Structure 1
């Protein structure tokens, strides 16, 4: 979000908290603004709406972590996406060429597993354990 979107963000968060009968203090606004700075205002509005519609968590006022989960997914979701990237690269690139992933954590894990060639040569039956 850009600095000029702060008033709209304040209105959005104040309205969302009012829906749950909660006040939005200056401290609360500062914490939320800092945590969601890298997101677009429309994304935040959509995440707040999705939180409100969540049958399990939507009955309670959202915390920053609730919106981060909606916007970025859980760690399990991110791990599954990362494995999908590795698995796709294994078949598309192979063991004899270098691969560059968009997430440095994937590279760290591949190195911990013995390096790219070793990961690519893993027996198909062993892939679920590797994952």
Structure 2
């Protein structure tokens, strides 16, 4: 039997309804960074949402990467351990190697409509 490396992903959705302090900081800081970075793509103030930018402005998909800079410090705080997934003793145990930040949607004037995702990637060994 040969061993294969399997890459798995845990997707954490963060929006206004999240209650943990860490989630709230990520939500607020990513919203502020989104508003700042999106000014380049919305100089006339013509669009009100991230979805509109994606539809009408070439290159606006770069905002995922540009906004991710605002949350990398929070990810370092995790010390490579995925939040929210606990063992049966209530301890965090699952480590991640990479992540990808994604803006699901946002409104320039309403933080309550700001919604992001962090995809945590980790690998395990499977038998084929």
Shorter-chain TM range is under 0.3
Greater share of residues in helix: 1
Greater share of residues in strand: 2
TM-score, normalization: structure 1? 0.25
TM-score, normalization: structure 2? 0.25
Instruction: Say which structure, 1 or 2, has more relative contact order (CA 8 Å, 6+ apart).
Output: 2
Return the index of the structure with the highest Cα Rg.
1
